[in-house]
Chain A
Amino acid sequence: MIKIEHLSVAFDGPEVVRDVSFTIGDGEILGVVGESGSGKSVTALTLMGLVSESAHVTSGKIYYDDQLLLEAGKPRDNALYREYQGPKMSMVFQEPMTSLNPTMKVGAQVEEMLLLHDRKCLGESIASAPKQNEIQTQKGQLADAEGVKMEEAKTRYAVGFTGWREERKKEKARRKNRVLEALRGVGLREAERVYDCYPHQLSGGMRQRVMIAMAVILHPGLIVADEPTTALDVTVQNQIIELLKKINQEQKNSLLFITHDLNLARRLCDRILVMQDGLIVESGHTEDIFNDPKGEYTKKLISAVPGRTGKRKSPHEKIRPLVEVRDLSVFYRENANSLFGKTVKKCVVHHADFTVYEGEILGLVGESGCGKTSLSKAILGLNKMTEGSVTHHSNSPQMVFQDPYSSLNPMKTVGWLLQEPLRAQGILDPSKAMSEKDREAAAHDMLRKVGMSEKYFTRRPSQLSGGQRQRISIGQALITRPGLVIADEPVSALDVTIQAQILELIRSLQEELKTSFLFISHDINVIYQVSDRIMVMKDGKILEIGETEEVFQHPKDPYTKELLR
């Protein structure tokens, strides 16, 4: 149905998509897999006619049912594209949080699809107006001929006009019904309420459902889904995938599914394309690719995916407790944003009770908003509004944050950044103060330990890749030789292959330095790979805590079971 021939796209510079050709058959689910910067999103946006105007299609053609949509060297025909965008192909984007207009009601946004395209629906109402009038006029003439007064003919004409207005009202109600139907179709039970909501009143998963409702309401032949689940929690992710599958089965539309997550692609897609640096490096049926990958890159990608079969950290004996958390509740203040408003204390962690032992990695898994970060901040002492106790049996813990792009000061060099915790330690506790020379030596040593060469010492964070930055963050956390490092989603902003490297680094450093880690992640597979023990958290409560193998084999809590699915 879709045919792309030798497509290349460039933004003022090198081509980001190179000689990409593929077809999508009727009702087929095609997965495009690749890491960030592989050109998969640009390909999809070019297909949809949404790529920005600074992008040039340097070669290739795009066909939709034998209709030429786009050809290199010719300007994009926006009018033609508008005929296709919506009724024939639609798109679901990655970020449900920002992909809906914040100042427009959700119902109106879905309805816009109908307003823009449903000529049939609109046409009927417009066409019906003169028809009705004609009938009335005819009747009027008839009445005239029969000798009835003109007055009555006029009222009848007026009746015709109100009839037309009624018709429009009905049309409006019908449109609303179609929107409600579509909302229900994507599993939004309270469709009436959602219809009148603004996007910010809905959760991420609900917003993504609204986006999907919008994409399917006109029953297009092709739906392009660009990382539709990446920004969502695991359990919601599963639901959205099931929904896309169901829609595909019911409506027989084709689906172009773009993702960095091989497991997801495997669950959903019939065929898979693997992209790297703008090139298609491998394509084939899903199971063929997974069972017998041909390309080096594909092999690397598949082996990098955290699974439950890969090698695990060697188990560790629980000997001495390092941090004891006893009946800890964490609160935060909800400011009423005014002089007189009451500040409300909200409990985000309820009675957490656990121990981190020396030299172990304790995995903490849970969805966004479950209190993982609040708990870790309380252990660090960054949050003072707590009840219960946290006892540390070593020096102060350090932290590795999720976003390596914003957690390093962009004005400083790597060397300076690595020394900063030592400087701070020296100020806090003069007995531990180190000379300039010792600090530098320690920083060089740490740089080597996190697997980076000497030359990076004088570079700034902006000159490093995401993975390298995360290495620096880890180095910063370890340089003071803390007993405990809290790593808050340290790999979730990274590509799979980089993620595998960082996990490997954490494992080896942990073996070498015998530091304990509290490793926080939403990805249960990542947790499985690195942790000795697992702690499952939901809505501020710790549901389950135990040896990794034990929890994976015999989960006790229904929520854990769902996570493990």
Chain B
Amino acid sequence: MKYLVKKIVTLIMTLFLVSVLAFLAFQIIPGDVVTSILGTEATPEREEALRKELGLDQPPVVRYVRWAGNVLKGDFGESYRYSKNMNQMMPVAELIGDKLPVTLLLAALSMLIIIVIAIPLGVFWARSKSKILDVSLNMGTQTAMAIPSFFLGVLVTYLFGFVLKWFAPGSYVSFRDDLWGCIRYLIFPAISVAIPKIAMTARFLRNSMLTERSSDYVRTAFSKGASERRVSYVHVLRNAMMPVVTFLGMIIAEIVAGSIVVEQVFSLPGIGKLLISSISTRDFPVVEILILYITFVVIFVYFLVDILYRVIDPRISSK
């Protein structure tokens, strides 16, 4: 319980710090949202009016405090750029609420694929004694890690979309209309996200298992007459998973924060795409919330990893 409270306090402090930093960054980087909206031809009076409308005429501290106060009340503000209809701007909450599920769904699918494939692959690799298999797996995973993700996306689209015709590229359906259809479409971008991560995780797990193999307790297990298989699965795997869990945590954080390139290639309306366009148009309210979201996700995932770690390794919680 005490542990949980500590974690939450750290989370809140980090979020506050990050929001301040993001705000400051926006003050420093060149470019002006007003010029970006109105273009360079606008009259000074028009610019002044818009500035006032957006509240940009206030000093930075006042703006930050006002913004932060609103966020705490649950009001994330309105986008500078996206409009809901002719006379209303899009609220940030709605904007992100629209895109977030896509990214989360993509992340969940990718993670599932990674775990289901990478862990058995890593164990199999560590246990295999065949030289040829070792070399080919080594080369295969190295290639998978080296391919740039946009190219991998294109390859997946080509293979599954045009050769095998398992899905129609560009035919993304919103999860609101057809959840199952959406998932079926998302599987393929998820594969593109997963392939390099599978390679990394499998390699990592293999190395971790081989390191654990030379531990003293493994020799003890053999001295009891346990079979190779039993030693690998009952004794080595759990110990070897510890560093892998941290690594998987890093991967989750990365994916949930938005797989920008893959979202572009498969034209998915996710967070990654939104982030890029908002930064380039100085859409401050959107960026600020997105940064907070990403920070939150990263910290939260690490928190989960921490808990998982305690489950796997009994030594940690007693310290």
Q: A residues engaging B (CB < 8 A)?
A: 48, 50, 78, 81-87, 90-91, 93, 95, 98-104, 112-113, 116-117, 198, 200-201, 211, 214, 337-341
Contacts and interface: CB of A to CB of B under 8 A. Distances in A.
Interface in B201-222: 215-217, 219-222
A81 B225 contact: yes
A525 B312 CA distance: 44
A198 to B, nearest CB: 4
A201 B318 contact: yes
A105 to B, nearest CB: 8
Interface centre among B6, B217, B230, B319 (most CB of A within 10 A): B217
A86 B10 CA distance: 50
16 contacts: A50-B219, A50-B223, A82-B226, A85-B222, A86-B225, A102-B239, A103-B238, A104-B238, A112-B226, A112-B234, A198-B314, A198-B318, A200-B314, A200-B315, A214-B220, A341-B6
B224 A101 contact: no
Interface string B1-38: 00000100110000000000000000000000000000
Nearest to A98: B216
Interface string B222-236: 111111101000110
B225 A82 contact: yes
Interface of B: 6, 9-10, 215-217, 219-228, 230, 234-235, 238-239, 312-315, 318-319
A104 B235 contact: yes
Given A86-B224, A93-B216, 18 more contacts: A48-B223, A50-B219, A50-B223, A83-B225, A85-B224, A91-B220, A98-B217, A100-B220, A103-B238, A103-B239, A112-B234, A113-B224, A116-B225, A198-B318, A200-B314, A211-B220, A337-B319, A340-B9
Nearest to B241: A103
A102 B6 CA distance: 27
A424 B57 CA distance: 61
A82 B227 contact: yes
A85 to B, nearest CB: 3
Given A200-B318, A201-B318, A339-B10, A101 B227 contact: no
Contacts of A50: 219, 222-223
Contacts, number: 83
Q: Which of A48, A103, A117, A337 has the most CB of B within 10 A?
A: A103
A98 B314 contact: no
A90 B9 CA distance: 52
Contacts of A340: 6, 9
Contacts of A338: 6
Q: List the 6 closest pairs (A to B, CB-CB), nearest first.
A: A85-B225, A86-B225, A98-B216, A82-B225, A198-B314, A101-B217
A85 B239 contact: no
A98 B215 contact: yes
Contacts of B318: 198, 200-201
Contacts of A198: 314-315, 318
Contacts of A83: 225
A102 B10 CA distance: 30
Contact of B221 (A101, A117, A211): A101
A201 B317 CA distance: 11
B223 A91 contact: yes
A103 B224 contact: no
Given A200-B315, A200-B318, A201-B318, A90 B216 contact: no
A112 B235 CA distance: 11
Given A50-B222, A90-B224, A339-B10, A101 B239 contact: yes
Contacts of B314: 102-103, 198, 200
Nearest to B219: A50
A348 to B, nearest CB: 18
Task: Among B215, B221, B223, B315, find the residue whose CB has the most chain A CB atoms closer than 10 A.
Answer: B223
Contacts of A116: 224-226, 230
A118 to B, nearest CB: 11
A102 B217 contact: yes
A300 to B, nearest CB: 31
Contacts of A337: 319
A51 B154 CA distance: 51
A98 B219 CA distance: 10
A496 B303 CA distance: 51
B224 to A, nearest CB: 5
Given A86-B225, A90-B223, A200-B315, A100 B10 contact: no
A339 B9 CA distance: 10
